[in-house]
A and B are shown apart, each in its own frame.
Chain A
Amino acid sequence: MDVVQLQRQLVDYRASLYHEAFLDEQFTQLQELQDENNPDFVVEVVSLFFEDSERLLNELTKALEQQSIDFKRLDAHVHQLKGSSSSIGAQRVQKVCIAFRNDCEEQNVEGCLKCLQQVKHEYSLVKTKLETMFKLEQQILAAGGSVPM
């Protein structure tokens, strides 16, 4: 594929991500932080996010499977997830986390379960999107072009 075409594709893809509220301007900030001193900053952060989130989601699932749910601990995890997602700009995930936290405060088990499902769903969505985006970027770099900001 043509480099220019690839680049345009990437730009459009990114635009769509923003448009669909998968990402917000925090992600743009991250991209700004990437420079020649820190060429893979975004990828590193996002990878860390993936790791962190998966761990947290496992913990959440485990916690909710318990007989007596420790809402405090649940809340702590959701808080972490919320923090991470807001740090990279995963807007949708963050929003669900906020709702999740409310349910935790109310000690609403069903609500929590539902939120957990939602979070998992959103997370997988955004993970896919980001991975696709990174792949596109790789392709551009491989084709010899530069990744547009």
Chain B
Amino acid sequence: MESCNCIEPQWPADELLMKYQYISDFFIALAYFSIPLELIYFVKKSAVFPYRWVLVQFGAFIVLCGATHLINLWTFTMHSRTVAVVMTTAKVLTAVVSCATALMLVHIIPDLLSVKTREVFLKNKAAELDREMGLIRTQEETGRHVRMLTHEIRSTLDRHTILKTTLVELGRTLALEECALWMPTRTGLELQLSYTLRQQNPVGYTVPIHLPVINQVFSSSRAVKISPNCPVARLRPVVGKCMPGEVVAVRVPLLHLSNFQINDWPELSTKRYALMVLMLPSDSARQWHVHELELVEVVADQVAVALSHAAILEESMRARDLLMEQNVALDLARREAETAIRARNDFLAVMNHEMRTPMHAIIALSSLLQETELTPEQRLMVETILKSSNLLATLINDVLDVSRLEDGSLRLDLGTFNLCAVFREVLDLIKPIASVKKLHVSLNLAPDLPEYAIGDEKRLMQTILNVVGNAVKFSKEGSISITAFVAKSESLRDSRAPEFLPVPSDNQFYLRVQVKDSGAGISPQDIPKLFTKFAQAQSTATRNSGGSGLGLAICKRFVNLMEGHIWIETEGLGKGCTAIFIVKLGIPERLNESKLPLMPKVSSNHGHTSFSGLKVLVMDENGVSRMVTKGLLVHLGCEVTMASSSDECLHVVSHEHKVVLMDVCVPGMDGYEIAVQIHEKFTKRHERPLIVALTGNTDKATKENCMRVGMDGVILKPVSLDKMRSVLSDLLEHRVLFEAI
């Protein structure tokens, strides 16, 4: 459009064109003015718009353009210079701003475009996150289901409940149509339908275990999709033309207890499996999703564990019940045994008294009867009665001893005794029987055997007597030899009794006694039985020999009490046998005057029977009793010197006299003085005669006085021949004699 400064008529020929231009300019101006208004209005409305000043710039540009066009309206007619100036100004400004805007837009438009790109990107991201969240939620859901299922399954230890719960929960979680469990039969060749979800009582379908589809499932630890038409999946008759849902099968390992000992579980070689079949509802478009399959696999494993726990528990409950039963039975047995022992003890206690009393009466009266006048037949009968009752009394005592030995209530009566005398006495006792049977008995005592020993004389003798008696009893002919010696450490060990470890010490020694016989012998199997109570070797010979069978049992116990050991060696039947025992005995200290042990009442038939040539001095004031004493001694073979007063006694006494018998109960004369003086006269012990007091006083004072002055013995008057004999022999053996008062 040109603007000129000439004066031209206003409405030229192109009036129409002018008019249209005029109108267009007007409208352009209008639009130009309204656009920025709109922009401002909307920007104000929006919260975020980073480029406000750009907008201002743009607005300015548009306003100025509008202004320009507006001012252009006045240029169609004659216009003044001011208008032209204004017009020019407006145009200049517009030019500036628009150039600036154009320059600015170069920077701004790429930015604006990138904003858009970022928006698209963010949207995509949001969509992706949404997807992922959906997935996680599904997984979490699955996990929750598994936990719940496991909880349900493991909350019970009953096998059936476990399986039933599994199916129910699986059915619920996965919204299954049918769920079934096939268990292997006992034979292991078939699978039997054991549990189903919908059907209450599954009919006993069985399928053979070696179907290919089953093998496929069993060979993998994962859930495997199988065809709905295979035998394990065809549980219900197909109804109509419905499309059966997808079927999945998974193996359930059945573990045995022994399997838990292997570290790498569950990879085991010999396994039995059950088959779990799950069917989705038919006519639904549902498919097995991966997470559902995982769920199924996890559940199958858990079921296996739960079943094994149930099995272990069952096992342990059974074992505990068994133990309880056994305990009850044992308790009963123990109580019965205690009752039996108590009954036996009561019986023995009664027997002790009740049986001994009549026995005592029988023995006592029989011996009294023996003393009276009897015809020979009567005497024989009485002797038999006496012998039998003695035997019976011994039997009773044996049985009682055994019971006391069992209880452990028996104690040894320790005392000092003459060892050789014991053996000789046994020999004397056994000689009559042996000579009747024409058996030769020999006794060998080792020279190093101590003369005296400390131990239980009575029981030792009982033992020796029993052993020797057995030897005699079971030998029909031949000889018996008894050997006794001190056992040295090599001979103490016996291979048959490794637990017997003798410990010799200073004042003790081990006595070893061997009794060898040439009798029927014993077979080696019978040897252990010999020492048991009431048992006897089963040969007919022993049957007839009588005896209760207790003898050796008692001997064994006595020997054990003496810390020893007893056994029998034999070379077999018919070759005789040797009974050997070792017992521990003490060695007594040397006897001296201050420690004179009290002897028990003098026993008869000891050692010496004649004292020929024994020089004895008798001192007694009373002529009659002096003569009687002399007569006694002369009868025993002694050479007697008499003295009627203490002076005479002291005068006559010499070292040739072995014994001085003096009467000390004479009042007014101090017999004790004499004893002291004799002691003084003979300082050497072996020269001094043994001084024995004869007294009628039975009080202790006399005895104590005698002991005090150093007398070697005291005898009570009256003295019989037998008494004198045994007194002398005891005296000479022991060099001491104190009669029990």
Chain A, Cβ-Cβ closest to B637: A37
Shortest Cβ distance from residue B676 to the other chain A in the assembled complex, whole angstroms: 23
Shortest Cβ distance from residue B140 to the other chain A in the assembled complex, whole angstroms: 123
Within 1-44 of A, Cβ neighbours of B (below 8 Å) are at 25-26, 29-30, 32-33, 35, 37-38, 41, 44
Chain B, Cβ-Cβ closest to A25: B720
**Would B625 and A30 count as touching, CB distance under 8 A?**
no
A41, A49, A80, A87: residue with the most chain B Cβ atoms closer than 10 Å: A87
Q: Quick check: is B632 within 8 A (CB to CB) of the other chain?
A: yes
- Alpha-carbon distance A79/B718, docked complex (angstroms): 15
**Would B622 and A29 count as touching, CB distance under 8 A?**
no
- Alpha-carbon distance A33/B635, docked complex (angstroms): 6
Q: Which residues of B contact A30 (CB under 8 A)?
A: 628, 631
Q: Quick check: is B623 within 8 A (CB to CB) of the other chain?
A: yes
Q: Quick check: is A125 within 8 A (CB to CB) of the other chain?
A: no
**Would B667 and A80 count as touching, CB distance under 8 A?**
no
Q: Which residues of B contact A85 (CB under 8 A)?
A: 624
**Would B628 and A87 count as touching, CB distance under 8 A?**
yes
Shortest Cβ distance from residue B728 to the other chain A in the assembled complex, whole angstroms: 15
Q: Which of B635, B663, B668, B717 contacts A38 (CB 8 A)?
A: B635
Q: Quick check: is A52 within 8 A (CB to CB) of the other chain?
A: yes
Number of chain B residues whose Cβ lies closer than 8 Å to a Cβ of chain A: 21
- Alpha-carbon distance A85/B628, docked complex (angstroms): 11
Q: Which residues of B contact A35 (CB under 8 A)?
A: 635
**Would B632 and A33 count as touching, CB distance under 8 A?**
yes
Q: Quick check: is A112 within 8 A (CB to CB) of the other chain?
A: no
Q: Which of A32, A41, A72, A87 contacts B625 (CB 8 A)?
A: A87
Q: Which of A72, A84, A86 contacts B696 (CB 8 A)?
A: A86
Chain B, Cβ-Cβ closest to A41: B631
**Would A84 and B624 count as touching, CB distance under 8 A?**
yes
Within 485-543 of B, Cβ neighbours of A (below 8 Å) are at none
Within 76-116 of A, Cβ neighbours of B (below 8 Å) are at 76, 79-80, 83-88
**Would B631 and A83 count as touching, CB distance under 8 A?**
no
Shortest Cβ distance from residue B613 to the other chain A in the assembled complex, whole angstroms: 14
**Would B718 and A86 count as touching, CB distance under 8 A?**
yes
Q: Quick check: is A45 within 8 A (CB to CB) of the other chain?
A: yes
Q: Which residues of A contact B696 (CB under 8 A)?
A: 83, 86
A45-B624, A52-B623 known; A87+B668 contact, CB < 8 A: no
**Would B624 and A52 count as touching, CB distance under 8 A?**
yes
Q: Which of A25, A26, A32, A83 contacts B622 (CB 8 A)?
A: A83
Q: Quick check: is A48 within 8 A (CB to CB) of the other chain?
A: yes
**Would A37 and B634 count as touching, CB distance under 8 A?**
yes
Q: Which residues of B contact A44 (CB under 8 A)?
A: 627
- Alpha-carbon distance A33/B722, docked complex (angstroms): 11
- Alpha-carbon distance A32/B668, docked complex (angstroms): 33
- Alpha-carbon distance A87/B621, docked complex (angstroms): 13
A29-B720, A37-B634, A80-B621 known; A45+B627 contact, CB < 8 A: yes
- Alpha-carbon distance A4/B279, docked complex (angstroms): 137
Q: Quick check: is B666 within 8 A (CB to CB) of the other chain?
A: yes
**Would B634 and A87 count as touching, CB distance under 8 A?**
no
Q: Quick check: is A122 within 8 A (CB to CB) of the other chain?
A: no
Q: Which of B621, B628, B632, B635 contacts A88 (CB 8 A)?
A: B628
Within 619-657 of B, Cβ neighbours of A (below 8 Å) are at 621-625, 627-628, 631-632, 634-635
Q: Quick check: is B4 within 8 A (CB to CB) of the other chain?
A: no
B623, B663, B717, B720: residue with the most chain A Cβ atoms closer than 10 Å: B623
Q: Which residues of B contact A26 (CB under 8 A)?
A: 628, 718
**Would B628 and A80 count as touching, CB distance under 8 A?**
no
**Would B635 and A87 count as touching, CB distance under 8 A?**
no
Q: Which residues of A contact B635 (CB under 8 A)?
A: 32-33, 35, 37-38
**Would A86 and B625 count as touching, CB distance under 8 A?**
yes
**Would B721 and A79 count as touching, CB distance under 8 A?**
no
Shortest Cβ distance from residue B629 to the other chain A in the assembled complex, whole angstroms: 8
- Alpha-carbon distance A109/B145, docked complex (angstroms): 132
- Alpha-carbon distance A7/B635, docked complex (angstroms): 25
For chain A, the bracket of interface size reads 20 to 34
- Alpha-carbon distance A76/B622, docked complex (angstroms): 11
**Would A45 and B668 count as touching, CB distance under 8 A?**
no
Proximity string of chain A (39-60) to chain B, C-beta cutoff 8 Å, 1 when within and 0 when not:
0010011001100100000000
**Would B718 and A87 count as touching, CB distance under 8 A?**
yes
- Alpha-carbon distance A35/B634, docked complex (angstroms): 10
Shortest Cβ distance from residue A94 to the other chain B in the assembled complex, whole angstroms: 10
Q: Which residues of B contact A49 (CB under 8 A)?
A: 624
B628, B663, B696: residue with the most chain A Cβ atoms closer than 10 Å: B628
Shortest Cβ distance from residue B251 to the other chain A in the assembled complex, whole angstroms: 112
- Alpha-carbon distance A35/B668, docked complex (angstroms): 36
Shortest Cβ distance from residue A79 to the other chain B in the assembled complex, whole angstroms: 6
Shortest Cβ distance from residue B177 to the other chain A in the assembled complex, whole angstroms: 125
Chain A, Cβ-Cβ closest to B633: A33
- Alpha-carbon distance A79/B623, docked complex (angstroms): 13
**Would B721 and A33 count as touching, CB distance under 8 A?**
yes
Q: Which residues of B contact A84 (CB under 8 A)?
A: 622-625
Chain A, Cβ-Cβ closest to B625: A87
Chain B, Cβ-Cβ closest to A44: B627
Chain A, Cβ-Cβ closest to B629: A87
**Would B624 and A48 count as touching, CB distance under 8 A?**
yes
Chain A, Cβ-Cβ closest to B620: A83
- Alpha-carbon distance A35/B637, docked complex (angstroms): 12
**Would A76 and B667 count as touching, CB distance under 8 A?**
yes
- Alpha-carbon distance A68/B302, docked complex (angstroms): 131
A33, A41, A48, A85: residue with the most chain B Cβ atoms closer than 10 Å: A33
A75-B667, A86-B696 known; A80+B631 contact, CB < 8 A: no
Chain A, Cβ-Cβ closest to B668: A76
Q: Which residues of B contact A86 (CB under 8 A)?
A: 625, 696, 717-718
- Alpha-carbon distance A26/B721, docked complex (angstroms): 10
A26-B718, A87-B622 known; A33+B631 contact, CB < 8 A: yes
Q: Which residues of A contact B663 (CB under 8 A)?
A: 83
- Alpha-carbon distance A84/B624, docked complex (angstroms): 5
Q: Which of B621, B623, B634 contacts A48 (CB 8 A)?
A: B623
Shortest Cβ distance from residue A137 to the other chain B in the assembled complex, whole angstroms: 18
Q: Which residues of A contact B623 (CB under 8 A)?
A: 48, 52, 84
**Would B627 and A48 count as touching, CB distance under 8 A?**
yes
- Alpha-carbon distance A44/B634, docked complex (angstroms): 14
Shortest Cβ distance from residue A120 to the other chain B in the assembled complex, whole angstroms: 18
Q: Which of B625, B632, B634 contacts A83 (CB 8 A)?
A: B625
- Alpha-carbon distance A41/B624, docked complex (angstroms): 12
**Would B667 and A38 count as touching, CB distance under 8 A?**
no
Shortest Cβ distance from residue B373 to the other chain A in the assembled complex, whole angstroms: 10
Residues of A bordering B, CB below 8 Å = 25-26, 29-30, 32-33, 35, 37-38, 41, 44-45, 48-49, 52, 72, 75-76, 79-80, 83-88
Query: What would 29 A/B residue contacts be, using CB atoms closer than 8 Å?
Result: A26-B628, A29-B720, A30-B628, A32-B635, A32-B721, A33-B631, A33-B632, A33-B721, A35-B635, A37-B635, A38-B634, A48-B624, A72-B667, A72-B668, A76-B667, A76-B668, A79-B665, A79-B667, A83-B622, A83-B624, A83-B625, A83-B663, A84-B623, A84-B624, A84-B625, A86-B717, A87-B625, A88-B624, A88-B628
Q: A33-B631, A86-B717 are in contact. List 20 more A-B contacts (CB 8 A).
A: A26-B718, A33-B628, A33-B632, A33-B635, A38-B635, A45-B624, A48-B623, A48-B624, A72-B667, A76-B668, A79-B665, A80-B622, A83-B622, A83-B625, A84-B622, A84-B623, A84-B624, A86-B625, A88-B624, A88-B628
Sorted nearest first, the 7 A-B pairs with minimum C-beta distance are A84-B624, A87-B625, A83-B622, A33-B631, A87-B628, A33-B635, A87-B624
